[in-house]
Chains A and B, each alone.
Chain A
Amino acid sequence: MSDEQVSNVSRGEMLKSLREMHAASVEQTQALLREQKQMQQSICQIIRETPKTVPEIAAEIGKPSHEVLWYIAAFKKYGIVVETGKCGDYPLYQRAKETQA
Chain B
Amino acid sequence: MENFNVDTLVIGGGIAGMQAALDLADQGFQTALVDHEPTIGGKMITLSKVFPTLDCCSCITTPKMSSVAHHPNIQLLTYCDLQSIQESDSGFRVAIVQKPRYVDAHKCTGCRKCEYECPILIPNPYDRGLGAYHAIRVPFSTAVPQTAVLDMDNCILCGKCEKVCPTQAVTFTQKPETFEVQTRTIVLASGFELTPLEAKKEYGGGLLHNVIDPLMMERFLAPTGPYGRVLRPGDGKEPTSIAYVQCAGSRDQSLGVEYCSRVCCMYAIKQAMLISGALPMAEITIYYMDIRTFGKGYEQFYQNAQAMGVEFIRGKVAAIHEDDQQNPVVKVELTEDGRVVERTHDLVVLSLGMVPSPGSAGILELPLGDDKFISVPAPNARPCHTTRPGIFVTGTAMGPMDIVDSIISASSAAAATSAYIRAHQNGQASPKPQEEAVYA
Contacts and interface: CB of A to CB of B under 8 A. Distances in A.
Interface of A: prevailing SS: helix
B173 A91 contact: no
B59 interface: no
Nearest to A93: B236
Nearest to B116: A78
B95 to A, nearest CB: 26
A82 B186 CA distance: 48
A86 B239 CA distance: 13
Contacts of B116: 78
Contacts of B234: 65-66, 69
B120 A65 contact: no
A69 B235 contact: yes
B228 interface: yes
Contact of A26 (B130, B131, B157): B157
A89 interface: yes
Interface of B: prevailing SS: loop
A36 B157 contact: no
A90 B238 contact: yes
A72 to B, nearest CB: 7
Residue among B132, B162, B234 with max Cβ neighbours from chain A (10 Å):
B132
A68 to B, nearest CB: 8
Nearest to A27: B156
Contacts of B209: 66
B154 A25 contact: yes
Given A18-B173, A66-B209, A69-B236, A29 B155 contact: yes
A89 B237 contact: yes
Contacts of B237: 89-90
Contacts of A30: 156
Interface in A1-48: 11, 14-15, 18-19, 22, 25-26, 29-30, 32-33, 36-37
B121 interface: yes
B89 interface: no
B278 to A, nearest CB: 13
Nearest to A66: B209
B233 A69 contact: yes
A89 B210 CA distance: 15
Interface in B225-252: 226-229, 231, 233-240
A90 B236 contact: yes
B153 A25 contact: yes
Residue among B116, B119, B121, B173 with max Cβ neighbours from chain A (10 Å):
B121
A22 B131 CA distance: 26
A11 B121 contact: no
Interface residues of A, number: 35
A36 B226 CA distance: 18
B159 interface: yes
Contacts of B312: none
Given A19-B157, A22-B157, A65 B173 contact: no
Contacts of B235: 54-55, 58, 65-66, 69, 90
B234 to A, nearest CB: 5
Interface string B140-167: 0000000000001111111100100000
A69 B172 contact: no
B155 A25 contact: yes
A94 interface: no
A55 B236 contact: yes
Contact of B236 (A22, A36, A72, A74): A72
A59 B231 CA distance: 19
Contacts of B157: 15, 18-19, 22, 26
B199 to A, nearest CB: 21
A74 B236 CA distance: 13
28 contacts: A15-B159, A15-B172, A18-B172, A25-B155, A29-B120, A29-B153, A29-B156, A33-B120, A37-B119, A65-B326, A66-B233, A69-B236, A70-B123, A72-B236, A73-B130, A74-B121, A74-B131, A76-B227, A77-B131, A77-B226, A83-B228, A86-B238, A89-B237, A89-B240, A90-B236, A91-B229, A91-B231, A91-B236
What 10 pairs across the A-B complex have the smallest Cβ distances? A54-B236, A74-B132, A65-B235, A69-B236, A66-B209, A73-B226, A89-B238, A19-B157, A29-B156, A89-B237
